[in-house]
Amino acid sequence: MQMDNTSASDSVVYATLGDGVVLPVVDVTNPAFAVDDRESNLSMWREHIANPPVRSNQPIGASPAPPTSLLLQRMLAPPAGYLDGWATYVLKVGAENLPQRFDTELERRVLSSANAMSLRVRLQQLSRLMAESLSPGLESARLRVVSIGGGTGIEALNALIVLRKANSSILPPTDLVILDVDRQGSELGAAALASLRSPGGTLAGTDIDLRFAPYSWSQPEMISSILADDLNERPFTLVSSEGALFEYGSDREVVSNLKFLREAGNFPVAGSAIRDDAAGEAMVARSPFRLHARAMRGIETLAYQAGYCVTRVVQGVATDQFLLAPA
């Protein structure tokens, strides 16, 4: 795994994977990736998801061609019952930042869609909330961010970027633990972290260790053993789950995971929930995956059952982002 660093003209850093794929590293504080999430834009994107503009550039009666690009194959014919970390990441880079390998008219259209903008807003808002939650830990000897269903862990990396820029300080040593059933996303996360920590990168000079741990939220008892090695140090810990546990998991899985997290250390939790309005319901209805539009009312109910309460909510496009704290 190698890395390509930033060009001085655009300050975007690039990560190169072992198979030669080069991807820009998403940094929500960089104008190249930042999204204008004022309410008027959020409302517009919600409307476009609920009532998508009609495109009529295919001949009547023609059968749709099978997807030929790696990105579209993973979106439309996923090998698993979820959108994997790699594909989710590419959807967040923005059409204007597409690498040449994926820079086609169709893929630009996909990355310019309201659904893709919803993912970018979700990442940006959740990263900010996570930085807010991590801020009291700056005086700690060590930080730890645990990303459930984390894929690339890009929300955790961006939270650390936001935190460092907001406080103009060097972060304490930090552990980033990605819990997922698939290791591939964490390899991209590791390459992104290496580029961000390189000279001139937004995390240059930091001591951040990224590690992957196989994890299924259907077996939440695994949390205790995964985090047990760190109990002696007692790092300041935040758990996150962007577009994962709270959107894919069943009610029982959400509650049981929160209970194990509470028992493991009363950890605060940041996450995203699909809205139950027209945009959220449309996204669920059109998705090839089994998603839950439980909205914040559902999150509040499940959190209460696990001994948590909602402390912060930021409204997004098809999802709302939130913080939970032990009650």
Query: How confident is the model over 207-234, as pLDDT tens digits?
Result: 999 999 999 999 999 998 888 755 567 8
- Answer for the pair 103, 21: CB distance below 8 angstroms, yes or no: no
Q: Please determine, for residue 73, whether its predicted confidence score (pLDDT) is greater than 70.
A: no
The counts of H helices and E strands in the chain are 12, 10
Confidence of residue 65 (pLDDT cuts 50, 70, 90): very low
| Dist. CA 216–CA 223, nearest whole Å | 10
pTM listed for this prediction: 0.90
Nearest alpha-carbon partner for 76 in 101, 52, 110: 110
Query: Can you tell me the distance from the alpha carbon of 292 to that of 47, in angstroms, rounded to the nearest whole number?
Result: 20
Residues 6+ apart with CB under 8 A from 322: 129, 270, 271, 272, 273, 296, 299, 310, 312, 313, 314
Q: Are 178 and 153 in contact (CB under 8 A)?
A: yes
The H or E element containing residue 192 is helix 184-197
Determine the residue type at 99.
P
Is 124-326 a domain of CATH 3.40.50.150?
A: yes
Give the SS3 label for residue 272.
strand
pLDDT at residue 267, as a whole number: 95
Phi and psi, residue 116, nearest 5°: -65, -40
> Hey, is 16 helix, strand or coil?
strand
161/29 Cα distance (integer angstroms): 8
Of 252, 185, 256, 189, nearest to 224 by C-alpha is 256
Alpha carbon distance 238, 258 (integer Å): 13
Q: What is the pLDDT of residue 288?
A: 84
Q: What's the pLDDT at 79?
A: 61
Strand partners, 310: 324
More confident residue, 157 or 78: 157
Using 50, 70 and 90 to split pLDDT, how confident is the model at 104? Answer: confident
Helix (H) or strand (E) segment spanning residue 110? helix 105-111
- Is 104 or 216 the better-scoring residue by pLDDT? 216
Q: Which residues contact 310 (CB under 8 A, 6 or more apart)?
A: 296, 299, 300, 303, 322, 323, 324
Contacts of 7 by beta carbon, 8 Å cutoff, 6+ apart = none
Domain spans, the chain? 2-52+68-118, 124-326
Mean pLDDT of 17-35: 91
Residues paired with 145 in a beta bridge: 176, 238
What's the confidence (pLDDT) of residue 61? 38
Over the stretch 281-304, which tens digit does the pLDDT of each residue have? 999 999 888 999 999 999 999 999
Contact 273, 320 (CB under 8 A): yes
151: left (phi over 0), alpha (psi -120 to 50) or beta: left
Q: Which residues contact 84 (CB under 8 A, 6 or more apart)?
A: 74, 78, 151, 182, 184, 185
Reply yes or no on whether the pLDDT at 166 is more than 70: yes
Whether the pLDDT of residue 55 is over 70: the answer is no
Strand partners, 143: 174, 236
